[in-house]
Amino acid sequence: MLALLAGCSETPPARVEIAAHYVPACAPAAEAAPSRLALSALGDFEASNASVAILRGDAAGQTLELPERTLAAELSALDGEPYWGSGTLDAYNRIPILLWPVRRACALAQIETGDADAEAWLAAGSDRLGALLLLGAGGESYRVDLASGQVAPLERQGAPRVPRRAAAASELGDQLLLSGGVETSTGSVLASGELFDPVLRRFTDATVALARPRARHAAVPLPGGASLLIGGESEAGQALGSVEVISPGLGRAPRAYELLAEPRIAPRAVLLGRDRVLVGGGYTRSAAGARAPIASVEILHTDFSLAAEPPTPLAPPALDRAFAALGPGSALAVGGCEPNEAPAGDCIPCELGCVSRAVFWLDSSGVAHALEPLPEALAVPAPELVSGSGGSPWLIAGTRLGHFDPWLERFEAVDPSLPGLGAPFGAALALRPGLFAWLAASEAGISLVGLYHDQRGPWSRDVAPLLVGGAAGLVPDRPPSARPSADDGRLEYSPANGLSLSGPQAIVSVADAEYADFRLELTLAEGPPPLVRLLGAGSEAAAFGGLECPWPTDGGASATRLSLRRALDQVRLERLDAALPGASATCQRPLPARVSVQLIGSRDGASRLTRVEITRSAE
């Protein structure tokens, strides 16, 4: 089947070593192991005979000739038990690939400990940096090699110098920042951080100063390489309303900004797109030490000269409510523990009253939409929510998993359950679009568990014809059932009718993937053509198909087939239908090297699309 791919490579081949390993705890038995693996090279090119190969099942150390512009590769089993994995090209012309069982959770590390709680252990990591750490407040620390799945303890000289509880971790440039927390030996709240260097595979001797002591705070990496620390608890036990930006390099003094409308301990924070951060959840403490949940969510701009947007209430409030990004500009809020002094018969008891089954979609305008409640099987006091590929978050609910469908606007329980694991604790960690990890209690202590659920990533080639392949890979920025006034922002999708966009508030994003030069083809069943917006890694954006760079038209017959070709800073808009064949318009715009793609509804009516397809070539 692989040999039937059309086309040939137009660039000379490069010799690339494929280093594949099975996750050790989930490696197949010898009699069930795949004997052949299908490889697909990925990069800014289309599939061809030169970009695919069939490898033997033990694909460690095989060297291949692949297209010169290869940036990554995927592997999948052709026989035996189903396994798959992907990896990116390193500086040594090597692609390490960790093979996972298809859509089956797998333990990456198992640690014997009697201290299994969210404040004593922290999972920290970055697929971009190839680092995954398991940090213990008692001084035990481990590193998981994301290339081989091997687990190794951090030796004393390479572990954090200050053991700490209730700390936070995030990327900081090309390192990982471990910030704040409570010093284990003294109980004092720390105003310092430490840096893990993934090249050296150890914590360095550098100390990062924070503007103020903070523990139980949130930390998110910003697109420019900085890290944003949000809220938390002061040394006096008060909720903090400040945020601070930590920049790469040790010469910059930290600075705190009092930006939160509601100070909060243990907030959750989600990066929305490239220039906004959603802050939700958290609590304050009463004089007696009881936790009081905060109901609102707030949106901060990463340009701190802009005022924060007014808080959005989520009623009723809930402790341990979970949050995750849903596409580039919106988010989900799920579950938690609601105060309830007179619980009904269907109440699932928790710390304050009853487990919440509430699900909210927070759209890019800051509006909260209440969705269908969680299935009872997924209702637990402290759920964990994590971003997934295709704009579809996953819910970890005790020993069950749930998956959110943005077009159906609901969660569905995913079988099988997770035998031998207790409740999750601490924030789940999205390592790449199709891979996430979380900590869970186990019979012997704790387990670091991973699930590789999808191959989709930055170099994905697909958005299939909608009537054939469904809307996978396309994510709306608001619930399709939402009905804005004047039809501005209406979104609809069905396999029978395709995708409809009406008005400039109707936005659909191609999830996960980024493109250099590419060609986008649209088949338009009715209505005006949509706008196409190209977004860079920062705040750069350019729209095409509007007044400044319109689609070609003859003022008569409507377009049915359209093409947008991007080559460097030049974008060519074409008509491919019989009414106006070959008509085109070319626009020059300064564009980033790599962009993501959005479709936006027209002001002139509803656009109904039956095909959306992107190829990684402008030809």
Which pLDDT does position 275 carry in this prediction? 84
Q: Which domain holds residue 385?
A: 106-452
- Which of 45, 76, 101 marks a domain boundary? 101
pLDDT for 8 equals: 41
User: What is the pLDDT, as a whole number, of residue 2?
Assistant: 28
What CATH number should be reported for the domain holding residue 132?
2.120.10.80
Mapping DSSP onto H, E and C, the string for 542-578 reads: EEEECCCCECCCCCCCCCCEEEEEEECCEEEEEECCC
Are 130 and 222 found together in one domain?
yes
CA distances from 268 to 57, 130, 278, 368 (A): 42, 24, 8, 16
The tally of domains found in the chain comes to 3
Question: Residue 461 domain-assigned?
Answer: no
- In a domain, residue 47? The reply is yes
Higher pLDDT, 102 or 468: 102
> Are 530 and 410 found together in one domain?
no
pLDDT at 419: 61
pLDDT-derived band at 364, boundaries 50, 70, 90: confident
- Do 127 and 53 share a domain, yes or no? no
Asked if 247 and 148 sit in the same domain, the reply is yes
Q: Which residues pair with 469 in a beta bridge?
A: none
Instruction: Kindly tell me if the per-residue pLDDT of 548 is higher than 90.
Output: no
CA 613 vs. chain centroid, Å, equals 22
Which residues contact residue 486 at a Cβ distance below 8 angstroms, ignoring those fewer than 6 apart?
A: 503
**pLDDT, average across residues 315-320:** 93
Looking up residue 24, the CATH number of its domain turns out to be 2.60.40
Same domain, 11 and 117: no
Closest to 19 (Cα-Cα) out of 71, 128, 95: 95
pLDDT recorded at residue 59: 65
Closest by CA to 162, choosing from 134, 133, 192, is: 192
CA distance 446 to 434: 23
For 280-317, give the DSSP string: E--EEE-TT--EEE--EEEEEESSTTSPPPPPEE-SS-
At 569-605, the pLDDT tens digits run 999 999 887 767 778 899 999 999 999 999 999 998 8
Residue 110 and residue 97 share a domain? no
Domain finish residue from 101, 135, 163:
101
Distance CA 148, CA 510 (A): 31
3-state secondary structure of 26: helix
Mean pLDDT over residues 194-216, rounded? 95
Nearest one of 272, 264, 260, 263 to 304, comparing CA atoms: 260
State whether 97 and 191 are in the same domain: no
CB 531 within 8 A of CB 553: no
Residue 337, amino acid = C
Q: Which residue has the tokens 């093409």?
A: 563
Number of H helices, E strands in the chain: 1, 53
The answer to whether residue 10 scores a pLDDT higher than 60 is no
- Classify residue 227 by burial, with Cβ atoms within 10 Å: 0-12, 13-18, 19+: buried
Q: Is 415 exposed, middle or buried (0-12, 13-18, 19+ CB in 10 A)?
A: exposed
Residue position matching structure tokens 């031998």: 420
User: Residue 476 falls within a domain, yes or no?
Assistant: yes
CB contact at 8 A, 480 and 369: no
Mean pLDDT of 277-297: 93
- Is 398 among the domain residues? yes
Residues 153 and 89 in one domain: no
Could you tell me which residues come within 8 angstroms of residue 5 by beta carbon, excluding any fewer than 6 positions away? 47, 48, 49, 52
In the 8-state DSSP scheme, what is residue 487?
G
* Judgement on whether residues 36 and 56 belong to the same structural domain of the protein: yes
Mean pLDDT rounded to a whole number for the chain: 88
Residue of 115 and 532 predicted with greater confidence:
532
Same domain, 216 and 271: yes
Q: Which two tokens stand for residue 121?
A: 């252990």
Q: For residue 119, is it within any domain? A: yes
How confident is residue 57, by pLDDT bands cut at 50, 70 and 90?
Answer: confident
CA distances 338 to 127, 282, 412, 593, Å, are 35, 13, 22, 47
Q: How is residue 378 written in tokens?
A: 């997924």
Structural element, H or E, at residue 469: helix 466-469
- Looking at residue 487, its pLDDT comes to 56
Token pair listed for 591: 């564009």
Task: Give yes or no for residue 362 having a pLDDT over 80.
Answer: yes
CA 304 to centroid of chain Cα atoms: 24
Q: Which of 354, 362, 436 is nearest to 395 (CA)?
A: 436
Residue 616's identity, in one-letter code, is R
Buried residues in 150-183 as b, exposed as e (16+ CB within 10 A):
ebeebeeebbbebbbbbbbbbbbbebbbbbbbbb
Tens digits of per-residue pLDDT, 388-445?
998 899 999 988 899 999 999 999 998 765 666 667 888 899 999 899 999 988 777 8
Q: Which element (helix H / strand E) includes 606?
A: strand 606-615
Decide: helix, strand or coil at residue 467: helix
Whether 585 is covered by a domain: the verdict is yes
Q: Residue 513 sits in a domain of what CATH number?
A: 2.60.120
Whether residue 431 sits in one domain with residue 539: no
Q: What is the model's pLDDT at position 3?
A: 30
Please tell me whether residues 381 and 525 are part of one structural domain.
Answer: no
Q: Is residue 565 part of a domain?
A: yes
Q: Is residue 317 part of a domain?
A: yes
At residue 287, the pLDDT reads 84
Contact between 390 and 473 under an 8 Å Cβ cutoff? The reply is yes
Q: Which of 419, 452, 485 is the last residue of a domain?
A: 452
CB atoms within 10 A of CB 461: 16
- Specify the pairing of strand 13-22 against strand 94-101: parallel
Give Cα 572 distance to the centre of its chain: 31
Interatomic CA distance for residues 32 and 104, integer angstroms: 16
Rounded to a whole number, what is the largest CA-CA distance in the chain?
Answer: 77
Question: Sheet harboring 394-397: ordered strands across?
Answer: 384-386, 394-397, 400-405, 410-414
Q: Is 584 in contact with 573 (CB distance < 8 Å)?
A: yes
DSSP one-letter code for 450:
E
The model's pLDDT over 65-116, given as tens digits with 9 standing for 90+, comes to: 999 999 999 999 999 999 999 999 998 999 999 999 998 889 999 888 877 7
555 pLDDT exceeds 60?
Answer: no
pTM to 2 decimal places: 0.92
Tokens for 464, please give them.
């299939």
Residue 371 to residue 367: CA distance in whole angstroms: 13
**Confidence check: pLDDT of 224 > 90:** no
